[in-house]
Chain A
Amino acid sequence: MVPAFERYRDIIPDFSAFLKAVEIRPPTHIRVNTLRVEAEKFRQAMAEKGYPLAPVAEIPEAFRWESAENPGSTLEYFRGWYQVQGLTSMLPALILDAQAGEHLLDLCAAPGGKATYLAQLTRNQALIVANDVSHRRIGILRSHSDRLGITSIIVTRYRGQSFPMRMPFGRILLDPPCSAEGTYRVGARPPLTGDPEVSRRLQRLQQMLVTHALKLLRPGGTVVYSTCTYAPEENEAVLHPAVEEGRAELVPIATRFPHAPGLESWKGHRFHPSLKLAARFYPHLVNSWGFFIARLRKPE
């Protein structure tokens, strides 16, 4: 067992099933780029070429990749007909529920899976500022965006916590750097939470990003906060101060995927009770990466 996970025994439901799940290789999921090709037509075309795909009932454009070949090795990938993306990684963009005509900000956007999905969901009709501090990762974001034929993304490169406050945004996606425990499945790199200093450093950064994201948000606007980690220090504990101080309020999440509620306490720390409205996705409940997602509203 990964030692870092033992501390979650009391908070993860059916902990033994969770431990079994993290020792199994997760399936690969792809997202059809419906700006280019209709999902069912795509599935049929891929089947004819010998790439079977299994549908995901909850998301019409998502499929499980069933071929032994790498999904990056096809001409269809090259042509931007699909993007490789973890199933749970698709959820933050869906939960943000962006609409055509809106101005969106993805504050830590690279490598771009969520930002390009937002563009797809809004049919290239919402203006999306995709920001990231890393020059290298922005290069990857731009490459994906170009390949997928995205016309509604503007790329900027600022530190998220000091993104210029020159205009308010109606919706913000905040998927900050995290310890990535949720991506630990067999064969993956061990989680970073073994080192408490790493967790503390990440938490400080995440709190600065939340604080700044709320300042960048229009009153009544929405922030979706997501991480691919189980660590409460990087999830509920990060959001608690903003909720406690009335700078944000939790909003229920609409998703058909099974999940556990956010935590109201952890190791003697109490969190604002509304944090139970956040969602914790575990690999034994949804066979993908572990994820935490909270939808926040800035009071008017």
Chain B
Amino acid sequence: MLVSVSPSEAQEILEYWTRRFGVPGTMLEGLRFLARGKTVWAMADLGGVQEILASFKVEAAGFPLLRKRGGQWKPTTAALLFFEGAIVTNVVELSAGRLDSFLRGQVLPGPFPADRGYVAVRYEGTVLGCALHGEAGLRSQLPRAWVDALLSGRPERGEDE
């Protein structure tokens, strides 16, 4: 069951985005945070959300914002794309020559001008998604299905009849 996070958890989430990526709290205004297991979703805080959550068995709401991994937050690619232009810190710009290797899951050796941990990857000035910046280098955390669609050219049954 999806439930609203507590006020202290909501504050923790806001602070994470500001501290890690420089996203101002105003960017998250109007969003309600919901959690189930290790995933936090961001949903538009519209009238009636609570009634729907209480009335139906909900599979998902809004988009996945964060996941807990080993005690730390992992931002989702969907969230990094959502906040896109507001992300100013812990961003790694990929060069054209390295994009393909990154997408194919190879670890890109550093150094990179970002803290260790989860970072946003940008290409041609626009955010692409999440990567893990570790000792060995930079490793893609982009959703596998999205990358497969990109590399194969076939949307995930995206053509809606």
Contacts and interface: CB of A to CB of B under 8 A. Distances in A.
A1 interface: no
Contact of B61 (A79, A83, A124, A154): A154
A140 B58 CA distance: 16
Contacts of B44: 124-125, 127, 151-152
B134 interface: no
Interface in B72-102: 76, 78, 81-82
B157 A140 contact: yes
Interface in A125-159: 125-127, 129, 137-138, 140, 142-147, 149-158
A16 B133 CA distance: 61
Given A72-B149, A156-B57, A111 B158 contact: yes
Nearest to B46: A127
A125 B146 CA distance: 26
A103 B81 contact: no
A266 interface: no
9 contacts: A73-B150, A73-B151, A78-B149, A79-B81, A85-B160, A145-B60, A151-B62, A152-B44, A180-B161
Given A143-B143, A143-B145, A144-B156, A72 B161 contact: no
A157 B146 contact: no
Contacts, number: 149
A166 interface: yes
A69 B78 CA distance: 25
Interface in B137-161: 143, 145-147, 149-161
A219 interface: no
Given A124-B44, A127-B49, A146 B63 contact: yes
A73 B151 CA distance: 6
A85 B155 CA distance: 11
B84 to A, nearest CB: 8
Interface string B109-128: 00000000000000110111
A73 B160 contact: no
Interface in B54-75: 55-64
Closest 3 CB pairs of A and B: A113-B160, A70-B153, A73-B153
Contact of A72 (B31, B52, B57, B153): B153
Given A84-B158, A129-B52, A151 B63 contact: yes
Nearest to B82: A149
A89 interface: yes
Interface of A: 28, 69-75, 77-80, 83-86, 89, 101, 103, 111-114, 124-127, 129, 137-138, 140, 142-147, 149-158, 164, 166-167, 180, 182-183, 228, 289
Given A69-B153, A78-B146, A155 B60 contact: yes
B123 A75 contact: yes
Interface of B is mostly: mixed
Contacts of A112: 160
A277 B13 CA distance: 51
A111 B161 CA distance: 9
Given A73-B150, A289-B161, A142 B62 contact: no
Contacts of A147: 78, 81, 146
B135 interface: no
A164 B56 contact: yes
B51 interface: yes
Contacts of A111: 156-158, 160
Contacts of A73: 150-153
Contact of A78 (B31, B63, B150, B160): B150
Contacts of B128: 75, 78-79
Contacts of A84: 155, 158-160
Contacts of A155: 58-61
Contacts of A143: 143, 145-146, 156
Contacts of A153: 61-62
B150 A164 contact: no
Nearest to B123: A75
A110 to B, nearest CB: 9
B140 to A, nearest CB: 12
B158 A72 contact: yes
